[in-house]
């Protein structure tokens, strides 16, 4: 059981209870996708939630106990009671998403209980994806790549960024996506120099690049991909940017394998682009992906993690030049025993031109 691994880690610190409040982590440990809190005790998983979700807990997480909360039954009280019954005076909590108000409420209910930060232990466990998780990510990627193909057959100069975004999102849903992995980015022309540009009413003109960064979800798992395409003939300057980004990505991908250091992979793409477009690649090369769109490890200047089978990272160099435009190309690497699988099969070898 996944939660046993967490409890083993905590046992080393003398802690035998954990309060899981982040939805992705609750899902990871139980399969339950609704609202509520999860209390982990040795050999027990207890979901605390209200009337709206009780049936859902039974269906999605049959090995969990469920405590129904309501006006008179507050989760804080129930957890305090359970700790007391089990003679526990310490509990691990998740520090990253809990509000200060919620934390105060938990502590006020059990003043003699010691609260110990879980830090990133659940996220560390989630780094290594199992076969089912990999299959879900591949399914999400299949949906997203299919949707990109749909867009290629539909998009024309004269459409706005918002229209393209709407169609791309529609195409992903139509192909079975559960939801967007994040807000789809469609940035054309000069907007392309903003890595996380919000789709606007800008009308896409011939001679512009369009960067599409998007992801579908399957079984809760995200994929993440970016392609940059051209509308009409674009300048040599923009073409050069595209092929420089592509070459940087290929060089980085060549280095992706078990045992490789995340920081070194980032450096390969960074040095290549820095030599040609100084200062134009200002974000990390990539990040982990799973139930959440940005996970660890990351391909960045600071992450010294060595890749192992089961890690999933994006490889997404870009060049962004205000007043000129920008380009990003993003694939995913699912690390295997002898290399990696890239589930992003959308074409990129030649700059795609839409007339």
Q: Which residues bind Mn ion (CB under 5 A)?
A: 224, 314
**Are 262 and 307 contacting, i.e. CB atoms less than 8 angstroms apart?**
yes
162/283 with CB nearer Mn ion: 283
Residue 306 Cβ, how far from Mn ion at the closest point, in Å?
21
54/293 with CB nearer Mn ion: 293
3/314 with CB nearer Mn ion: 314
Residue 300 Cβ, how far from Mn ion at the closest point, in Å?
12
134/181 with CB nearer Mn ion: 181
Residue 96 Cβ, how far from Mn ion at the closest point, in Å?
20
Q: Which two tokens stand for residue 58?
A: 């039974």
Residue 214 Cβ, how far from Mn ion at the closest point, in Å?
10
Query: CA angle, 135 as apex, 130 and 137 as ends, to 5°?
Result: 95
263/287 with CB nearer Mn ion: 287
30/314 with CB nearer Mn ion: 314
Rounded distance between C-alpha atoms, residue 156 and residue 153, angstroms: 9
Residue 224 Cβ, how far from Mn ion at the closest point, in Å?
4
Rounded distance between C-alpha atoms, residue 88 and residue 283, angstroms: 44
92/289 with CB nearer Mn ion: 289
Residue 287 Cβ, how far from Mn ion at the closest point, in Å?
6
Locate tokens 């105060």: which residue? 104
113/181 with CB nearer Mn ion: 181
**Are 242 and 326 contacting, i.e. CB atoms less than 8 angstroms apart?**
no
Q: Which residues pair with 66 in a beta bridge?
A: 47
**Are 314 and 332 contacting, i.e. CB atoms less than 8 angstroms apart?**
yes
Instruction: Find the residue with minimal CB distance to Mn ion.
Output: 224
Q: Which residues pair with 340 in a beta bridge?
A: 335
Task: Show Cβ contacts of residue 55 under 8 Å, excluding neighbours closer than 6 positions.
Answer: none
Residue 273 Cβ, how far from Mn ion at the closest point, in Å?
17
Residue 213 Cβ, how far from Mn ion at the closest point, in Å?
7
Q: b vs e for 70-90, b when ≥16 Cβ sit within 10 Å of the residue's Cβ?
A: eeeeebbebbbebbeeeebee
208/224 with CB nearer Mn ion: 224
Rounded distance between C-alpha atoms, residue 143 and residue 217, angstroms: 8
Q: Which two tokens stand for residue 346?
A: 């959308």
Q: Which residues pair with 288 in a beta bridge?
A: 295, 313
First to last CA, the chain: 54
Residue 136 Cβ, how far from Mn ion at the closest point, in Å?
17
Task: Show Cβ contacts of residue 6 under 8 Å, excluding neighbours closer than 6 positions.
Answer: 18, 29, 40, 121, 122, 125
Q: Tell which residue, 92, 344, 312, 351, has the closest CA to residue 208.
A: 351
- Phi–psi pair at 126, nearest 5 degrees: -70, -15
């Amino acid at each position: 059981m996944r939660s046993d691994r967490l409890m083993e880690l905590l046992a080393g610190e003398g802690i035998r209870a954990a309060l899981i409040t982040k939805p992705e982590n609750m899902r990871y440990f139980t399969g339950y996708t609704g609202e509520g809190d999860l209390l982990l005790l040795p050999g027990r998983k207890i979901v605390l939630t209200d009337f709206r979700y009780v049936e859902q807990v039974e269906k999605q997480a049959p090995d969990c106990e469920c405590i129904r909360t309501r006006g008179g039954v507050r989760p804080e009280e129930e957890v305090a009671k359970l700790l007391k019954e089990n003679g526990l005076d310490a509990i691990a909590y998740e520090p990253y998403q809990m509000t200060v108000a919620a934390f105060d409420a938990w502590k006020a209910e059990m003043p003699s209980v010691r609260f110990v930060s879980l830090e990133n232990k659940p996220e560390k466990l989630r780094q290594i994806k199992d076969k089912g998780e990999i299959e879900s990510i591949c399914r999400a990627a299949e949906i997203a790549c299919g949707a990109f193909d749909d867009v290629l057959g539909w998009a024309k100069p004269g459409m706005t960024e918002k229209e393209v975004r709407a169609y791309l999102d529609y195409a992903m849903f139509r192909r079975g996506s559960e939801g967007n992995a994040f807000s789809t980015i469609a940035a054309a022309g000069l907007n392309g120099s903003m890595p996380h540009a919000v789709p606007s009413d800008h009308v896409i003109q011939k001679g512009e690049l369009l960067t599409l960064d998007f992801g579908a979800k399957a079984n809760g798992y995200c994929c993440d991909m970016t392609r940059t395409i051209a509308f009409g003939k674009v300048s040599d300057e923009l073409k050069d940017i595209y092929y420089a980004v592509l070459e940087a990505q290929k060089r980085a991908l060549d280095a992706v394998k078990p045992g490789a250091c995340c920081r070194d992979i980032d450096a390969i793409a960074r040095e290549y682009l820095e030599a040609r477009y100084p200062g134009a690649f200002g974000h990390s090369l990539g990040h982990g992906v799973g139930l959440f769109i940005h996970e660890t490890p990351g391909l960045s200047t600071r992450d010294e993690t060595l890749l192992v089978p089961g890690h999933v990272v994006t490889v997404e160099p870009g060049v962004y030049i205000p007043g000129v435009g920008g380009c990003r190309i993003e694939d995913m690497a699912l690390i295997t025993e002898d290399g990696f699988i890239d589930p992003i099969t959308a074409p990129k070898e030649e700059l795609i031109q839409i007339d």
